[in-house]
Amino acid sequence: MKVDAVDLFYLSAPSAGENGAPGQDTLLVRVRAGSYEGWGEGTASPLTAIAGSLAANPIVGEPLDTLDDIARIGSIVRSGSIDPGQANHLLSGIDTALWDLMGKRFEQPVYRLLGYPKAYPKMPYVSVRFGNTGVETIATAKQARQDGFRAVKFGRGPFGKSGPKEDQEQLVAAREGLGKDGILLVDAGAVWGEDVPRAIKALRSLRLTDVLWLEDPLTFGSLSAYAAVAEQAGHLRLASGAQCPTVQMAQSLMDYGRIGYAQIDVGRIGGISSAKRVIDLAIERKVTAVNHPANSHLAFSASLQCYAGLPEHRLCGYPVGTSPVVRDLTVEPLRPEGEEGLIYPPDAPGHGMAPNLTTMRAHLVNLEIVREGRTLYRTPEL
């Protein structure tokens, strides 16, 4: 079998998402080989990834017979770029599509191809915004519980922008709304920049309200600053990694930034192959792996495959927002199931998510890139 076609699609939904939804643009990748088709999704700017693909080494015609061929194709893409992060950005969708395709070829879920004998359910967390007032935050937390989410990640809004007193009010409100048995996560969105003392001042109320993780208190990648905060954090753990452009960077966050939760964006770091490498490194370091909420349920399932076999790594970020690009890109979404509202990775070949071509076509962006009168890219047929 050879790679017959690699097609990139830019999808965009006009309406903005709600409650901390990720971007409403997304990049879909379709790979065809033999009689098989695989789908992948990338997180960051589709136009930039498409532009990047025009300078990348071609992979059409490459043999695709064994799982090792996926890594080999990844090396081809990477070796053609002077910028590892940019190559991984493009590769994320391609690599995921290749795993999906090989899962169909071997009639196995991707998690099994990755060596996990079985998949365990994950507990989904939903991402919401802090309210402008404590009363609003209580209501948001209660709503999330009513929607069936025991774990809730609060972020943005006024948090971190005033002082420890105001932040404490917000955190107490979030805890009140969630109840004692709720799992409370906080995403600080680098609000304290490089100001380590301010971040440390916030720790007390985060611990008092039993926050499980504090995500990105500081500028992403400031390793020594993260370590300084982690040292003062006690049982509260730091989370980071969604912006990691490379496996090496994710490793550094664990080794030197002393994070306790490694967040992995399968659509950013280079796809399933790279995500699995980060997870293996996390296990060695007793760091807990967790996916980063994907745009759609296609990337969501892909992200779950990577750590489906690890019951102790139990949380997962659930895609939020009502945009069709989030909700309806697949024929079925992955819904919380049972009394506990858990997510079960699909027991189906590949990542198990069938693309919804109707939604895709409705949100497909017609794009053309022309160089000296010659068309380098034109949106392919879907």
Tell me: does residue 178 bind a second copy (CB under 8 A): no
In the complex with a second copy, which residue's Cβ is closer, 237 or 268? 268
User: Can you say whether residue 223 is alpha, beta or left, with left for phi > 0 and alpha for psi between -120 and 50 degrees?
Assistant: alpha
Site map (CB under 8 A) of a second copy, residues 100-139, x = contact:
----------------------------------------
52 lies in the binding site for a second copy (CB under 8 A): yes
Q: Does 45 bind a second copy (CB under 8 A)?
A: yes
Residue of 255, 272, 338 lying closest to 116 (CA atoms): 272
Distance of CA 215 to the CA centre of its chain: 14
3-state secondary structure of 10: strand
Say whether residue 268 binds a second copy (CB under 8 A). yes
Q: Shortest Cβ distance from residue 48 to a second copy (Å)?
A: 5
Which neighbouring-strand residues pair with 11? Answer: 26, 364
- The enclosing H or E element of 260 equals none
Which of 1, 4, 32, 55 lies at the binding interface for a second copy (CB under 8 A)? Answer: 55
| Shortest distance, position 244 Cβ to a second copy, whole Å | 10
CB-nearer residue toward a second copy: 96 or 246: 246
Q: Smallest distance from the beta carbon of 370 to a second copy, in angstroms?
A: 4
Q: Which of 19, 67, 85, 166 binds a second copy (CB under 8 A)?
A: 85
**Among the residue ranges 34-42, 44-52, 98-106, 169-177, the one whose residues contact a second copy (CB under 8 A):** 44-52
Contact letters (x/-) for a second copy, 179-218, by CB under 8 A? ----------------------------------------
Shortest distance, position 25 Cβ to a second copy, whole Å: 8
DSSP, collapsed to helix, strand or coil, labels residue 310 as: coil
Cα torsion through 304, 178, 157, 300, rounded to 10: 10
Q: How near is the Cβ of 233 to a second copy at its closest, in Å? A: 20
User: Cβ(229)–Cβ(218) under 8 Å?
Assistant: yes
| Strand-pair category, 211-215 with 123-129 | unpaired
Taking the CB of residue 257, how many other CB atoms lie within 10 A of it?
25
Pick between residue 171 and residue 247 the one whose CB is nearest to a second copy: 247
The reply on whether position 339 binds a second copy by CB under 8 A is: no
Cα 277 to Cα 306: distance, rounded to the nearest angstrom: 9
Rounded to whole angstroms, how far apart are CA atoms 203 and 201? 6
Q: Of 24, 26, 43, 359, which lies in the binding site for a second copy, with binding defined by CB under 8 A?
A: 43
Q: CB under 8 A: which stretch of 48-56, 65-73, 144-152, 345-353 binds a second copy? A: 48-56
Question: Does position 284 bind a second copy by CB under 8 A?
Answer: no
- Hey, what are 304's tokens? 């779950």
Q: Which of 274, 321, 265, 262 is nearest to 293 (CA)?
A: 265
Site string for a second copy, 343-372 (x = CB under 8 A): ----------------------xxxxxxxx
Output 186 or 190, the one with its CB closest to a second copy: 190
Q: Where in 216-235 is the site for a second copy (CB under 8 A)?
A: 219-224
Q: Measure the CA–CA gap between 377 and 186, rounded to whole angstroms.
A: 41
Can you list the alpha helix ranges (DSSP code H) found in 107-195? Answer: 110-113, 134-146, 164-178
Edge-to-edge strand list for the sheet holding 151-155: 288-291, 261-264, 237-240, 211-215, 183-187, 151-155, 123-129, 315-317
Dihedral (C-alpha) 361, 365, 369, 374: value to the nearest 10 degrees? 40
**217, 198 Cβ separation under 8 angstroms:** no
> Which of 61, 115, 338, 373 is the binder for a second copy (CB under 8 A)?
373
* Type of residue numbered 216: D
Site for a second copy contains 292 (CB under 8 A): no
Binding site for a second copy (CB under 8 A): 23, 43-45, 47-48, 50-52, 54-55, 81-86, 89, 219-224, 243, 245-246, 248-249, 251-252, 255-256, 268, 365-373
